[in-house]
Chain A
Amino acid sequence: MRPFSFHRPATPDEAIALFEAIGEGARFVAGGTTLFDLMKLDIERPRHLIDVGAIRGLDGIDADGDTLRIGALATMAAVAAHPAVLRDFPVLSESLARAASPQLRNMASVGGNLLQRTRCPYFRNGVGGAYPCNKREPGSGCAAVEGLDRGQAVLGTSAACNAVSPGDWPVALVAMDALVELRGPLGQRLLPVEEFYRLPGDTPHEEFTLRPGEMIAAVVVPKVAAGRASTYHKIRDRESFSFALASAAVALDMEGGRVRRARIALGGVATKPWRAREAERLLAGMNLDVETALDAGRAAFADARPGRHNAFKPELGARVVADALLIAVERSRA
């Protein structure tokens, strides 16, 4: 435990102004399900917490326009159970419903969820310098690269880090070309969720493209028909309350039994939510059956670079993509 100050602004402008005024050591917090956990582990050490949870009007779910607009403070549970989300974007609903536990889903916000940090055990359990970790202690090295890497990433890795981006929701958003609405000292901007995440490269501690003082205000999902023929398929070490070994967010735009356009994103296997564009291209114009689905899945992992204990991930991931495609094509017929 380290002492910190606690602030509860009433509006976004107030929150941003507070952040600017405090400067170094300030952090926004909403549901707290990630940040408080990491503070207890002494990984996150904010000196000032700005709790945006009291701000009104940031938790709305607006499904009436051309886009689905979800306020950053909407809870995971509320979005997962929202009728329009269930109907138009099963991939989004499932990605939330299959994450965490009911208690966490009731607390966690969908904005804060985008900022969840890796579950790499060397990152989380290395408090006190037990394990070198470039995310926790830049430049200290990476214990996972030569270590017990069964759960580590096979896509987007670097010599400095192979930690998996743990989220489910961001993977589904990336598949749907969603945007994140940011507000900060310099105003408002919209950024594709895919560009919100950085590859580890030589600087794995820099995970997001968020600028200082910027807060997440909303997530905006373009409305497309393919949303209804979508799914989030997640394979993990147990059937609930566990992170993905491999997952796939898939949405299909079909035309007369053939794929017009497929959207595929991968979770549990990459250092950021991973769009599998090569696999998408392969499927365009194809008749979707088990064989083509598996071919697409394998194409998604063509660039995979497994380590010592996770050589199974490309094959498992390919099969997860295949199963997801087959579920989605079923839904396209409904």
Chain B
Amino acid sequence: MIPTPFPDRPRFDARDMVLGRTRYAADRRLAGMLHAMTVPARIAKGTVTSLGAEAALRVPGVVRVLTPDDFPEPPPSAEDGPPPPPPTLTSTVSFRGEPIALVIAESLEAAIEGAEAMRPVYAEEPFQALMDGLEADREEAEPYVAGDAAAVMARAAVTVSETYESPTQHHNPIELMATVAEFRDGRLSVHECSQSVGLAKYAVFAALRIDPAVVDVRSPHVGGSFGQKGLAQRQTALIAQAALLTGRPVKLVMPRGQIFHVAAYRPRSRHRVELGATGEGSMIAARYDAIQEQSRQGFFPAAEYHEAPIRLYGIENYLGTGADIRLDRQAPGWMRAPHAQASCFAFESAVDELAWKLGQDPLAFRLANDAARDPRTGRPLSSRFMRECLEEGARRFGWKERVAQPGSMTAEDGTLIGWGVACGAYPSSMPPAIARLRVGADGRTRFAVSGHEMGQGIRTAIASVLIEELSIDPVGLEIVIADTTSVPQHMTAGSWGTAGCVPATMKAVERMRSAVAELVGGQRIAGNLHRQLAMVRRPSVEVEVSELAPGQKPEALEELKAGGIVAMGPEYPAFTSMSYGAHFVEVRVEPRTRRVRVPRVVSIADCGRVISPRTAASQVYGGVIWGIGASLRERTEVDPRFGGYLNSDIADYVVAVNADIEEIDVGLIDRPDLIANRAGLKGLGQVTMAGVSAAVANAVFHATGKRLRSLPMRIEDLL
């Protein structure tokens, strides 16, 4: 039976947000609170021989300067535990901007002045900040293999082989990274903007050797995060230790310039893609090598550039290699559509080049190369509606009016018009969950589950299920997430946020319904659950459920309780589960200055069943907008003579603004995937961006005849 679509529903916390009632970590002001400021290293590699804190300590209001000596030795790294916590303060500098001291003061102004008064002395060492010239120093990743790409490539009638590049890019949410810690009554309480309160708690424990049983971490609202605040953040343990050592609450809001140098970012990557097809246009082989800039200790996996491309089409022979080039930089990490932003740009550009070489329409070519199963594992796909995304997008966009020859569509003033299409895919993953639901006779409902609200609308998705499927009073509904004092909290990332809470919510709803039905017996009581409980004189009913990913072993629940990352996917024991999308982009290129504008985009996504139509559509808008920014605007500049990032503020790091964005038409296929999970949903957040850059590049080619293979595509590339 196909479940009925969920109706459109306003954002659960919209009213609070527009009234300014939502409280973020940095909004916390506690009695007696101190302010902290990190001191960043001004060298790219070397040793701090002396901190020079004397002048800082003389600044009125400065209470203390924490140094590396104020922290325990870093813990030994475990092979198969959670990722190692970030280091704390260091006197061995591995990258420019690394925190070497923490100034704690009575006011923010004094903390800043103190930090500026520090006069550290360094012993500098030579360093490498960019991979140029070091491409041979490969640290190989596990290859992704299907069939025999080399042998079949040799038989291909038509091939393309090109190199594409995606630049260093940085997260720039409005909210700066913020932590407030307080040690009180024997408990350490941390408030922080985080996608993983569980990992933050673990990091405090591992870095400071504090019994995790007395550490509480909460992150009720995050002002935007798409991977930046996923892993444990460097400042968490610093501020926790500051609170412990001073005995007072301490707050740090890290300045944006420092965030650029400390937080996770999208590493620069280079992609050599070779595709082979039969003369009729059937893609039969792909050889694809991706290298990326990596830190000395970083573990953002180069192998995963292949997760999406190997499953975009039914290419039976695929050899995907990857490698890290280790540099003196901070660790790169997950940033919206991690891997897929770069790899779908490269792969879907190459697919377009191949279609052009074959003389085929790029839409028809993609439709003709559909996949029936996962080429990597040979296993079936839980669902795949990429064809439907392409067909619906083409219909809305008016693709059939396209004239194939580049440069043939122009406006009256000579403006060149280009239409491009590209697809995206992203693993649909799922973590286990434990959820607790209590319905009271007093009209209240309290639901606790694992999840973090970064603005994507996770509370709205949970509320959608509870309000739609349980007869309760929405006004009395409280949703508790991102709180280590409630149920175990898994990291919310990787597009598995909804899968990590909504199936468990549905299970809890079923359990609650039968629990109340049992209490009520055969009586017919009019009214909602609260009224039914009142009639049978039960103050409340509570149920607890747990949910596993398909084929997941029950031990995963124990790992979840211990703070691990135990999401499965896209490869499950019996199938592979991917989300898909198709983007259609129109660009207009001015005849003389060659300025590129994007007047309209049609973007259609297959995320299985849509739980919250409004916030799901918002995810797609956001992914497309970021995709346009990543295609035409964003690039972090590294001067190899100095290391660090030259344009480390949002004036010089150019994200897309409203004036850059015009019409975006969003569609969701909304076909439940009941193999993937009981809710029939698949992930959405990342796939919305995957492929947008290729669609823009393909449209630029169609407009100008010029193929741009390096992001961002800038005005000088088309002059």
Q: Please choose the segment from A170-178, A254-262, A279-287, A314-322 that sits at the chain B interface, where 4 or more of its residues have CB less than 8 A away.
A: A314-322
Q: Is B109 an interface residue (CB 8 A)?
A: yes
Verify A1–B112 contact, CB threshold 8 A. yes
Verify B593–A235 contact, CB threshold 8 A. yes
A residues less than 8 Å from B641 (CB atoms)? 143, 147
- Contact flags (1/0) for B452-463 with A, using CB distance below 8 Å? 000000000000
Verify B657–A148 contact, CB threshold 8 A. no
Verify B592–A130 contact, CB threshold 8 A. no
Verify B716–A121 contact, CB threshold 8 A. no
Chain B residue at minimal CB-CB distance from A317? B593
Verify A239–B660 contact, CB threshold 8 A. yes
Q: Please choose the segment from B149-157, B225-233, B645-653 that sits at the chain A interface, where 4 or more of its residues have CB less than 8 A away.
A: B645-653
Verify B659–A143 contact, CB threshold 8 A. no
A residues less than 8 Å from B1 (CB atoms)? none
Q: How far is the CA of A224 from the CA of B581 in the complex (A)?
A: 57
Q: Is B479 an interface residue (CB 8 A)?
A: no
A residues less than 8 Å from B649 (CB atoms)? 125
Q: How far is the CA of A58 from the CA of B113 in the complex (A)?
A: 35
Q: Is B135 an interface residue (CB 8 A)?
A: no
B residues less than 8 Å from A315 (CB atoms)? 719
Check A238/B654 contact, CB under 8 A, given A129-B42, A316-B716. Answer: yes
Verify A238–B593 contact, CB threshold 8 A. no
Verify B593–A320 contact, CB threshold 8 A. yes
- With both chains docked as a complex, state the minimum distance between the C-beta of B234 and any C-beta of chain A, in angstroms: 20
- With both chains docked as a complex, state the minimum distance between the C-beta of B95 and any C-beta of chain A, in angstroms: 13
Number of A-B contacts (CB under 8 A): 79
Q: Is B116 an interface residue (CB 8 A)?
A: yes
Check A312/B715 contact, CB under 8 A, given A125-B257, A125-B649, A322-B592. Answer: yes
Verify A121–B652 contact, CB threshold 8 A. yes
Verify B659–A240 contact, CB threshold 8 A. yes
Check A238/B646 contact, CB under 8 A, given A42-B116, A129-B42. Answer: no
Check A148/B646 contact, CB under 8 A, given A319-B592, A319-B593. Answer: yes
Q: Identify which of residues 309-334 in chain A touch chain B, using a CB-to-CB cut-off of 8 Å.
A: 312, 315-316, 319-320, 322-323
- Contact flags (1/0) for B626-642 with A, using CB distance below 8 Å? 00000001000101011
Verify B592–A121 contact, CB threshold 8 A. no
- Contact flags (1/0) for B607-644 with A, using CB distance below 8 Å? 00000000000000000000000000100010101101
For chain A, give the interface size range.
Answer: 20 to 34
Q: For B116, B592, B659, B660, which residue has the most chain A Cβ atoms within 10 angstroms?
A: B592
Q: Identify which of residues 148-173 in chain B touch chain A, using a CB-to-CB cut-off of 8 Å.
A: none
Q: Is A208 an interface residue (CB 8 A)?
A: no
Q: How far is the CA of A130 from the CA of B120 in the complex (A)?
A: 13
Verify B646–A122 contact, CB threshold 8 A. yes
Q: Is A36 an interface residue (CB 8 A)?
A: no
Q: Is A242 an interface residue (CB 8 A)?
A: yes
Q: How far is the CA of A131 from the CA of B644 in the complex (A)?
A: 11
Verify B647–A130 contact, CB threshold 8 A. no
Q: Identify which of residues 253-283 in chain A touch chain B, using a CB-to-CB cut-off of 8 Å.
A: none
A residues less than 8 Å from B644 (CB atoms)? 130
Q: How far is the CA of A238 from the CA of B42 in the complex (A)?
A: 31
Verify A237–B654 contact, CB threshold 8 A. yes
Q: Is B511 an interface residue (CB 8 A)?
A: no
Q: Is B714 an interface residue (CB 8 A)?
A: yes
Contact of B719 among A131, A241, A294, A312 (CB under 8 A): A312
- Contact flags (1/0) for A150-184 with B, using CB distance below 8 Å? 00000000000000000000000000000000000
Q: Identify which of residues 227-260 in chain A touch chain B, using a CB-to-CB cut-off of 8 Å.
A: 235, 237-242, 245
Determine the main DSSP class of A at the interface with B: loop
- With both chains docked as a complex, state the minimum distance between the C-beta of B665 and any C-beta of chain A, in angstroms: 20
Q: How far is the CA of A122 from the CA of B649 in the complex (A)?
A: 13
Q: Is B513 an interface residue (CB 8 A)?
A: no
Q: Is B658 an interface residue (CB 8 A)?
A: yes
Verify B657–A240 contact, CB threshold 8 A. yes
Q: Is B656 an interface residue (CB 8 A)?
A: yes
B residues less than 8 Å from A1 (CB atoms)? 109, 112-113, 116
Chain B residue at minimal CB-CB distance from A290? B592
Q: Identify which of residues 116-156 in chain A touch chain B, using a CB-to-CB cut-off of 8 Å.
A: 119, 121-122, 124-125, 128-131, 143, 147-148
Chain B residue at minimal CB-CB distance from A322? B592
Q: How far is the CA of A147 from the CA of B660 in the complex (A)?
A: 29
- With both chains docked as a complex, state the minimum distance between the C-beta of A334 and any C-beta of chain B, in angstroms: 17
B residues less than 8 Å from A42 (CB atoms)? 116
Verify B651–A237 contact, CB threshold 8 A. no
A residues less than 8 Å from B714 (CB atoms)? 237
Verify B112–A316 contact, CB threshold 8 A. no
Verify A148–B637 contact, CB threshold 8 A. yes
Chain A residue at minimal CB-CB distance from B114? A1
A residues less than 8 Å from B652 (CB atoms)? 119, 121, 124-125
A residues less than 8 Å from B660 (CB atoms)? 238-240
Contact of B646 among A121, A128, A245 (CB under 8 A): A121
Q: How far is the CA of A130 from the CA of B44 in the complex (A)?
A: 10
Chain B residue at minimal CB-CB distance from A127? B116
Q: Identify which of residues 411-470 in chain B touch chain A, using a CB-to-CB cut-off of 8 Å.
A: none
Chain A residue at minimal CB-CB distance from B119? A128
- With both chains docked as a complex, state the minimum distance between the C-beta of A80 and any C-beta of chain B, in angstroms: 16
Chain B residue at minimal CB-CB distance from A235? B593
Q: How far is the CA of A221 from the CA of B274 in the complex (A)?
A: 61
B residues less than 8 Å from A322 (CB atoms)? 592
Q: How far is the CA of A242 from the CA of B633 in the complex (A)?
A: 11
Q: How far is the CA of A263 from the CA of B649 in the complex (A)?
A: 36
- With both chains docked as a complex, state the minimum distance between the C-beta of B546 and any C-beta of chain A, in angstroms: 48
Verify B113–A241 contact, CB threshold 8 A. no
Q: Is B248 an interface residue (CB 8 A)?
A: no
Q: How far is the CA of A119 from the CA of B109 in the complex (A)?
A: 25
Q: How far is the CA of A128 from the CA of B593 in the complex (A)?
A: 39
Check A239/B639 contact, CB under 8 A, given A323-B592, A323-B593. Answer: no
- With both chains docked as a complex, state the minimum distance between the C-beta of B329 and any C-beta of chain A, in angstroms: 16
Q: Is B296 an interface residue (CB 8 A)?
A: no
- By Cβ-Cβ distance, the 10 closest A-B pairs, closest first, are A312-B716, A239-B659, A240-B659, A319-B592, A1-B109, A1-B113, A121-B646, A237-B654, A319-B593, A240-B657
| Interface positions of B (Cβ within 8 A of A) | 42, 96, 109, 112-113, 116, 257, 590, 592-595, 597, 633, 637, 639, 641-642, 644, 646-649, 651-652, 654, 656-660, 714-716, 719
18 residue pairs from A and B, CB less than 8 Å apart = A1-B112, A1-B116, A2-B113, A119-B651, A124-B652, A125-B648, A130-B42, A143-B639, A237-B714, A238-B633, A238-B654, A238-B657, A239-B659, A239-B660, A240-B660, A294-B592, A319-B594, A323-B592
For the A-B complex with A122-B646, A238-B656, A319-B719 known, give 6 more contacts whose Cβ atoms are closer than 8 Å: A121-B637, A125-B646, A238-B633, A239-B597, A239-B659, A316-B715
